[in-house]
Chain A
């Protein structure tokens, strides 16, 4: 009898690792749930939540551990370290902001746990050769290059920059300057500002005096509305407003028709492109959250889907890394492949889109194969 009990216990102990194996895989998600970028963070939260629901419907179970970095790189790093050391996740999606993502990326190789960045744009993140850092969205240089390509045929001559003094703002403008130099555009004003100030009029007045053909703007959420309001106040009228940053691609911005009309912006995603499931995602998102999905939501959805699907086939971080490196996907963000090119490592060569707000609605205007509308140029009030 005693022997029988011992053998049952021994068999149970042997079976334990099998049980552990059957438990859902653990994935971390670092996002800006609070702080300055919380509004955009919410879009990422929603997108990721929809991905998890869709995966559950397909029978893929996952335990998602969410962390908030408040938009602060040191919190993001602490969150990543907690996720990999204490929670034992095998992969992490996030963080949202460039500042946070850049810092976390620098430690990913140390902990050997793959990081999939859904929407941060600073180039450096995938330029340092980190083996464990993957990025889904196009980096900052594409924001400016695609915007400038869209207006190149109209032969603008001068450009002014107005941008937030953040990692994303500075790196986007740096590459914009390189792209502008290639196009022979002359820089006539360069105004970097601190976010969240009530008065940008002095900077905008300087830009107005320089009379540029193009004004290249990088701003996060509400600052974009504030800047455009004050631009209207002082009757700043260039031939085109090019909004590279997140703030020019939100539904809230588009709704301010008095100031948003004809503003051109670069985006990672729109709902009218012919990528598989894009329109359906927009419809379902709208039904669930009662608002239009921003590109952040789409990026977070796709990043989460790719991460979990790949992780479900691999039970270790090393296998997950190999799976991400080798795999290719085709979903709401079009074809995805983490490739090494032009100094980037594990970077998805994502084609960005150019959209223009026409009467409160975003219309894709470039590249031609994705667009139904033609760009309205020059800008008029």
Chain B
């Protein structure tokens, strides 16, 4: 029972991690930039969900319909104003810029919303379904997981079937060649960053009903998203999806069989092992750079 309980709850939590990881991986794939503001973009998604719930009385899951386009637009603007200027610069400049943007976001949130953690309490916040053998699964986590699956599916279809998606794919494979083939790579970068931001905000909004909302909340998830990206292979969308679920399950299992104090240790041992044995990540193509 322990095993199944922690496996299932790990998979469900991992689903949300995966969504955060996918956004980061997509940005890296297309733009070759590690976006260290990703966690803070998630935090903004949490606040958007919180305020649409408290002020507009929209259910956090329904509010995704508002949050996704808003975040996409916000991501495009950030790319146009800041990110595109450093796209061909060394990695350390890119990292400093994104860390800086993240700090501005989290500290602005601290000024505007204060450091009081906000709790999003819905009628189903602490409800659970009980299945065979006394296993209970959190209702909001199940809903979040299903939405994650749906969004990942749509993203996959978008990337592999639509012209824009294929252009994004091509840009991620080889930026110069894509440009020579007539693809507007600057536009692709803006779209990729917009998508990445939308995915981060979605992950934030999905976790909001089961977590608390705080200006620094993004930092917890940034490290996870980055670990997931590297584990799955930087730039690989499928890799990030699988990586997220792996991290979720490993955390849950190590909490059950060791101690929750040890779960980060186990996660990072696996992370190091992957880096040593398979530096490009589980599904990676770009990690070798």
Q: Which residues of A contact B (CB under 8 A)?
A: 34-36, 38-39, 41-42, 165, 191-194, 196-203, 205-206, 209, 221-222, 225-226, 228-230, 232-235, 252, 256, 258-259
Q: Which of B121, B130, B248, B256 contacts A206 (CB 8 A)?
A: B256
Q: Which residues of B contact A (CB under 8 A)?
A: 2, 5-6, 9-10, 13, 16, 110, 114-117, 119, 121, 125-128, 130, 136, 138, 207, 210-212, 214, 216-217, 220, 248, 251-253, 255-256, 259-261, 263-264
| Residue pair A196, B128 in contact (C-beta under 8 Å) | no
| Residue pair B115, A39 in contact (C-beta under 8 Å) | yes
| Residue pair B212, A202 in contact (C-beta under 8 Å) | no
What is the CA–CA distance of A203 and B255 in the complex, to the nearest angstrom?
6
| Residue pair B119, A192 in contact (C-beta under 8 Å) | no
A34-B110, A198-B13 known; A206 vs B2 contact (CB < 8 Å) = yes
Chain B residues near A206 (CB, 8 Å)?
A: 2, 256
| Residue pair A197, B126 in contact (C-beta under 8 Å) | no
Chain B residues near A201 (CB, 8 Å)?
A: 5-6, 9, 138, 252
Min CB distance B110 to A, Å, is: 7
Chain B residues near A38 (CB, 8 Å)?
A: 115
Q: Which of B110, B115, B261 contacts A193 (CB 8 A)?
A: B261
| Residue pair A232, B126 in contact (C-beta under 8 Å) | yes
Considering the complex, give the chain A residue whose CB is closest to the CB of B138. A233
Min CB distance B273 to A, Å, is: 21
A165-B261, A202-B9 known; A229 vs B125 contact (CB < 8 Å) = yes
| Residue pair A233, B127 in contact (C-beta under 8 Å) | yes
What is the CA–CA distance of A245 and B256 in the complex, to the nearest angstrom?
24
Min CB distance A232 to B, Å, is: 4
What is the CA–CA distance of A200 and B5 in the complex, to the nearest angstrom?
12
Chain B residues near A230 (CB, 8 Å)?
A: 126, 138
Chain A residues near B212 (CB, 8 Å)?
A: 222, 225-226
Considering the complex, give the chain B residue whose CB is closest to the CB of A165. B261
| Residue pair A198, B210 in contact (C-beta under 8 Å) | yes
Chain A residues near B2 (CB, 8 Å)?
A: 205-206, 209
Considering the complex, give the chain B residue whose CB is closest to the CB of A41. B115
What is the CA–CA distance of A192 and B260 in the complex, to the nearest angstrom?
6
Q: Which of A194, A196, A225, A232 contacts B119 (CB 8 A)?
A: A225
Which of B2, B10, B126 counts the most chain A CB atoms within 10 A?
A: B126
Considering the complex, give the chain A residue whose CB is closest to the CB of B207. A198
| Residue pair A193, B117 in contact (C-beta under 8 Å) | no
What is the CA–CA distance of A221 and B114 in the complex, to the nearest angstrom?
14
What is the CA–CA distance of A226 and B126 in the complex, to the nearest angstrom?
9
Extra 10 A-B pairs, beta carbons < 8 Å, given A222-B214, A256-B121: A39-B116, A193-B260, A197-B251, A205-B256, A206-B2, A222-B117, A228-B126, A230-B126, A233-B128, A258-B125
What is the CA–CA distance of A234 and B248 in the complex, to the nearest angstrom?
18
What is the CA–CA distance of A36 and B127 in the complex, to the nearest angstrom?
27
Considering the complex, give the chain B residue whose CB is closest to the CB of A205. B5
Considering the complex, give the chain B residue whose CB is closest to the CB of A235. B136
Q: Which of B220, B253, B261 contacts A192 (CB 8 A)?
A: B261
| Residue pair B260, A200 in contact (C-beta under 8 Å) | yes
| Residue pair B117, A221 in contact (C-beta under 8 Å) | yes
Considering the complex, give the chain A residue whose CB is closest to the CB of B256. A202
| Residue pair A197, B121 in contact (C-beta under 8 Å) | no
Considering the complex, give the chain A residue whose CB is closest to the CB of B209. A229
Chain B residues near A221 (CB, 8 Å)?
A: 117
| Residue pair B13, A256 in contact (C-beta under 8 Å) | no
Q: Which of B116, B211, B248, B264 contacts A226 (CB 8 A)?
A: B211
Min CB distance A37 to B, Å, is: 9
A199-B251, A256-B121 known; A205 vs B126 contact (CB < 8 Å) = no
What is the CA–CA distance of A340 and B217 in the complex, to the nearest angstrom?
42
Which of A36, A199, A256 counts the most chain B CB atoms within 10 A?
A: A199
What is the CA–CA distance of A137 and B125 in the complex, to the nearest angstrom?
35
A203-B255, A205-B256, A258-B126 known; A198 vs B115 contact (CB < 8 Å) = no
Could you show 10 A-B contacts with beta carbons less than 8 Å apart? A42-B115, A198-B211, A202-B9, A203-B255, A205-B256, A229-B125, A230-B138, A233-B128, A235-B128, A256-B119
Min CB distance B145 to A, Å, is: 13
Considering the complex, give the chain A residue whose CB is closest to the CB of B107. A34
